[in-house]
Chain A
Amino acid sequence: MPALPDLFAQALNGLSYGVLLFLLSVGLTLIFGMLDVVNLAHGSFYMLGAYAGLTLIATTGNFWLALVAAPLVVGGIGAVIERSCLRPLYRRQPLDQVLLTFGLIYLFEDLVKWIWGGRIRSIPAPDLFSGSVTVLGATVPSYRLFVIVFGLGMAVAVWLLIERTRLGSIIRAGVFDAEMTGGMGVNIHRVFTGVFAFGAALGGLSGVIAGPIQSAYPPMGASILIPALIVVVVGGLGSLKGSLVGSLIIGQAETFGKAWLPGASMLMIYLVMAAIVLLRPQGLFGRPLK
């Protein structure tokens, strides 16, 4: 039986990984909830965020500036994509949208290779958090503690935005019934663009946050997409709360899977997903299936 400090250290590892998954999946789930689009290109926004962050840090030397500016850049790209490519497809079958966003993955991957080249790059951690600290006998990089605090802070901020502001109530109304919300005099198209851009910006933000932990390379978006989709399925499509709880569960499942059953760590998260979907097909916090 592992000692208590080991358990605690692994739980912290799982928490930091889970929070990273949350930052990534929250944009995915918001876009799905509002626009009914499974945005497979969400991993590309994550990648674009990391690369935009890379360039901003290289030119300004300031991690915090990159953390703010890179998501804005990616959000802008998201807005353009929504207006130009996605909007004409809303009335078509969902498969057409899936195909479009799938194609975007390749487009963005080649774009990144073209601009930044195929070499593996990495974002240095900000000086403030470059060391490691010992918490109750567990050694953790201080940057991971920052990620945990920042991610949970973002969860609260997004929750406040959706649940406590006028804009949030419009978004929630749009999720519930877009057509009716449009009938109430809300410019639903503009809301759609805004939500897509916001989701994309969150994807970009997670890319910058992950940069100091993971390396940046062109297919990075494709490899992170699977766990993000699993989180959305576990948490419930379109649910903010679901994406938080789902991320934390998957983060712990994968971490303890790696620690105790290294050969079967991927199996672990699929088992968790299968168990949850069997018990609640709509996911933990999803709307009941019609």
Chain B
Amino acid sequence: MNRMTRRTFLGATSMAAAGTAVGPWVLRAQAQGAPLKIGVVLPYTGVYAVLGESITQGMELVFARENWTVAGRKIEMIKEDDEMKPPVGIRKTEKLIDSDKVDILTGPVHSGILMGMRDKVHNSKTILIVSNAGADVISRERCSKWIFRTSFSNWQPNWPMGGWVAKNVAKEVFLVAPNYQAGKDMMNAFKETYLPAGGKVVAEDYPKLGETDYAPYLTKIKQSGAKAVYCFFSGSDAVNFVKQFDQFGLKQSIKLTGAGFLTEPDVLPAQGKSALGVITGHFYTPLLDNPVNKKFVADFKAKFGGKSPDGFAVQGYDTAEVIIRAVKAVNGNTQDKDKLVAAIAKTEFDSPRGRFRFDPKSHNVIQPFIYIREVREVAGGLNNVPIDKVADVTDPGTGCTLPA
């Protein structure tokens, strides 16, 4: 035991010594301002690891196209795994801001982590480009000059769906979503247009995030008399829910609808035929017929072993595209943060999802379209076929008063 302690002590001492030796070198490198440091806080393990992977791949596709340089500066991605745990995500954020001194921060997937990061980012005047987490308040009461969002607010894919489901599917719906901020945000956005259109919410349930057995909820849905289910699930939750919904024989009598994450390409192969006929609303589907998207899908498949890109990959792609364009616009000078923020806010380009631009009021992306998509069998397997669309979906941004 004694020997172990001494060895540990020696190890710790030598590590500390190495740390002090490295210190001055790092400082010098920063003074020259050489690499553009992009801090990435995403889940690389756990239930949502595939989301982190897709977002990262979308970013890497753009950076590789630019040969990993922008305005003469080398691009350096510092990836941190937030494990989908708010305490971990916040610690990693502090590390990236305080010790790595990143120029731009991006991530996270989890709304809870975003809420935990928000004050640290705001107070340290770090530019954060949110590449997934949809917490509505970040575009509303808790918005910040320093925070942009390329992905979506939870409100955006769901708000158009309420009216659409009431008009085209059913007037009696059962709502189900995981029991956390995003789940509740999305169901509320749906209700905003569903109720005025004459729809009635028969009941709503909020199972825990990462549930594996939905049987008790499915039995309740069956007995509720609802004509349709509107839900939000993602990752393995989406696979389990859609498969079990089918196994319980509900598909014959109750239409399954939801936010687009339910049938994204990360889960569709595992859901298989159980997902046929499911209707969802989302800002993207790989089937979109525009030249940027066609090139994006082909390049993505070529670079990542035939993997079909999903909405998450588009979020990563657009995040990287915004960074490249804004840093070029300020000629690589990221020290003047006000100028960089202004450049980001003005960034506009053709994204795979359509014309990309931020809402100057809230720094949240304006969705060019929310597509209503149905899972059908097409060439190359199951896919989300667009059957309708709603244009220019902008978060109301209520309560956000960004300095112009």
Contact = CB atoms under 8 A, between A and B. Distances in A.
Interface in B22-69: 45-47, 49-50, 53
Given A10-B216, A118-B53, A223-B212, A262 B249 contact: no
A45 B219 CA distance: 31
Interface in B208-264: 208, 210, 212-213, 215-217, 219-220, 222-223, 235-236, 239-240, 243-244, 247-249
A53 B219 CA distance: 29
A13 interface: yes
A215 B211 CA distance: 11
Contacts, number: 112
Contacts of A9: 219, 222-223
Contacts of B205: 262
Contact of B206 (A124, A214, A263): A263
Contact of B235 (A14, A120, A224, A266): A120
B267 interface: yes
A259 B270 contact: no
A17 interface: yes
Contact of A6 (B50, B206, B212, B223): B223
Contacts of B271: 122
Contact of B50 (A3, A118, A143, A258): A118
Nearest to A8: B219
A55 to B, nearest CB: 15
Contact of B219 (A10, A118, A262): A10
Contacts of A118: 49-50, 53
B236 A258 contact: no
B206 A219 contact: no
B212 A139 contact: no
A132 B243 CA distance: 12
Interface in B365-379: none
Interface in B267-303: 267, 269-272
B219 A13 contact: yes
A141 interface: yes
Contacts of B239: 120, 122, 215
Nearest to A220: B236
Contact of A119 (B46, B47, B50, B206): B50
Contact of B243 (A122, A217, A256): A122
A16 B47 contact: no
A120 B53 contact: no
Contacts of A162: none
B84 to A, nearest CB: 10
A215 B243 contact: yes
A144 B46 CA distance: 27
B82 interface: no
Given A120-B267, A122-B272, A259 B219 contact: yes
B172 interface: no
Given A118-B53, A120-B266, A215-B243, A258 B216 contact: yes
Contacts of B236: 120, 214-215, 217, 220
B49 A218 contact: yes
Contacts of B207: 258, 262, 265
Contacts of B219: 6, 9-10, 13, 138-139, 259
Contacts of B247: 125, 132, 141, 143-144, 212-213
A213 B50 contact: no
A259 B216 contact: yes
Interface of A: 3, 5-6, 9-10, 13-14, 16-17, 109, 118-122, 124-125, 131-132, 138-141, 143-144, 212-215, 217-220, 223-224, 254-256, 258-259, 262-263, 265-266
Interface of B: 45-47, 49-50, 53, 179, 205-208, 210, 212-213, 215-217, 219-220, 222-223, 235-236, 239-240, 243-244, 247-249, 266-267, 269-272
Given A121-B269, A144-B247, 19 more contacts: A6-B223, A10-B219, A13-B215, A17-B215, A118-B53, A122-B243, A122-B271, A132-B248, A140-B248, A213-B212, A213-B213, A215-B270, A217-B47, A217-B235, A218-B45, A224-B212, A255-B216, A262-B207, A266-B208
